[in-house]
Amino acid sequence: MTGKLKINNPLRALYDEADLPQIIRRSLNFILIGNICGNVHGIICGGGTTAMVGLATSMGANDLTFAILTAIPQAAALMQIPFSMLVNRTHKRKKYMLTIGLFSRFLWILFGLIPFIVPKGVTINYPLYTLVFLLGISACCSAVINPCWFPWLSDLAPDQIRSRWLSVRDVIMSVVNILAGLLIAFLLDHLPPETKYVIIFILGGTVGMMDMISFGFCKEQFTAPPKKLKFSEVIGDILKNRPFMRFMIFWTAWCFTANMSGTYMSPYSMNVMGLNFTQIMIFGTVASCIAAIFTVQRWGRALHHYGSRSVMLVSCIGAAITPIFYLLSSPGNIWPTLLHNFFGAMFWCGSNLSANNMQLSISAPETRPSYIAVFSCVTALLGTTLGSLAAGGLLRVFEASGIFTGWFDRYKMLFLVATILRLSAVLVLVPRMENDRNATPKDLIHAILRIRK
């Protein structure tokens, strides 16, 4: 007698382990669908995506413009603080996601239409200004999303399975990202120049809207009652939470140094190395997704056994040194982009998983949306935004000096400085953080070496 074919479903196994009721399982699955759609939206839409770099370049953007485009969404993170207060007080996450969040994603449909509806002035680049303006409005509205969905996940997924659920999610998203990345790159390289950005951003906006709509099917569940908070009380509570403060200080330094180099890698690959959209997507997004597929669940298990600090230290050291590959770059050479993204992703997924787990595990449950909002604001403004702007300023200084010409150009000098600063931040700040398991980074390294043997 032939038995039924059994399919190994890691999500079902996690749900069974936590004995979750059907409505919670269904809600977590819809969150997963939303995250997948949101991630595809993020590949297309954002200040530093390949599509945005191409559109901005066609409008005449310079180095400072790319820094501004990357910094705007991070600066808009300030809006997360009032939104988090609102979420804590009203407990209407679903309503905000399906109104404000949905509107923020809808605006992306308009980006590709800018060159057709906004005339270019004689002295003022009106299309580029419109691009910046629309990005600012969308970024401000999308600030409501993080204080809603991330605490929502925490309330639905028990701590015992959360890190492993996130790792399974990341594997699925990586597979989808490969397919989406290849499709987007193909469209960017083969669609007519006058219409390709219209089609690409309509696609990106539509998928982003699907992300928001997915949350309409999720159960709203709260581990703490509604609470009207004063901003001063929230800040006071956060300042007293030493584990959270140490983590936030490190992640701010990490974001600062990461965006010093990260902001300019796509423009550098495209405008200096001469790679096309397909090459950047294959040797960038696709390569990193393939690496993540084979490593992210290992990091998820490592989090469960060795703790967030151990994973953070080991993964961040690896991720910090990968921009060095760009020192080997030359026009037409794809290897620096491939090596940076492939080996970098092997470690980035570990650092991101541990960062997500730390945000949820060391923030107070009753004020978690406000914790996450303050964390996002500080790391976005003092980390990502200042890092991008500092990089733009340094590039201008390097250019004015006239020293960095030829093979070792100003971009390579920037990548080298960023790598040194990032590695220093990891080695100085991560050991000061608390671990949530009775294990050390040395234990994790020994386990990794045993696996390799």
What residue segments make up the domains of the chain, in order of their start?
A: 21-221+230-452
Cα 182 to the chain's mean position, in Å?
A: 19
Q: How far apart are CA 32 and CA 153, in angstroms?
A: 10
Is 443 strand, coil or helix?
helix
List, as one string, the DSSP characters of 135-203: HHHHHHHHTTHHHHHHHHHHHHS-HHHHHHHHHHHHHHHHHHHHHHHHHHHHHHHHS-TTTHHHHHHHH
Q: In the numeric block, which tokens belong to residue 234?
A: 């929230």
pLDDT of residue 70: 76
* Spans of the chain, pLDDT less than 70: 1-7, 122, 224-229, 451-453
> What size, in residues, is the chain?
453
pLDDT of residue 273: 86
Question: What's phi and psi for 51, nearest 5 deg?
Answer: -65, -40
DSSP structural state of residue 223 = S
Q: In the numeric block, which tokens belong to residue 312?
A: 């953070």
pLDDT of residue 451: 53
Q: What is the CATH number of domain 21-221+230-452?
A: 1.20.1250.20
Q: How far apart are CA 279 and CA 211, in angstroms?
A: 28
Helix 441-452 crosses helix 287-306 at what angle (to 10 degrees)?
Answer: 130
Q: How far apart are CA 322 and CA 331, in angstroms?
A: 19
Which H helix or E strand runs over 280?
helix 277-280
Which H helix or E strand runs over 262?
helix 242-271
Q: How far apart are CA 151 and CA 221, in angstroms?
A: 10
Task: Report yes or no: 28 and 157 within 8 Å, Cβ to Cβ.
Answer: yes
pLDDT of residue 330: 84
Q: In the numeric block, which tokens belong to residue 167?
A: 């790792």
In this structure, the number of other CB atoms found within 10 A of the CB of residue 438 comes to: 8
CA-CA-CA-CA torsion sign (242, 243, 244, 246):
positive
Please write the tens of the pLDDT for every residue from 47-89.
Answer: 778 888 888 888 888 777 877 887 788 788 888 888 888 888 8
Please write the tens of the pLDDT for every residue from 192-214.
Answer: 888 899 999 999 999 999 999 99
Q: How far apart are CA 182 and CA 175, in angstroms?
A: 11
Residue 16 CB contacts under 8 Å (≥ 6 apart), including other chains: none
pLDDT of residue 1: 41
Give the CA distances from residue 85 to residues 150, 374, 378, in Å, rounded to whole numbers and listed in that order.
Answer: 15, 11, 16
In this structure, the number of other CB atoms found within 10 A of the CB of residue 64 comes to: 13
Task: Report yes or no: 352 and 41 within 8 Å, Cβ to Cβ.
Answer: no
DSSP structural state of residue 20 = -
pLDDT of residue 349: 87
Q: In the numeric block, which tokens belong to residue 369?
A: 């949306």
Cα 84 to the chain's mean position, in Å?
A: 20
pLDDT of residue 204: 94
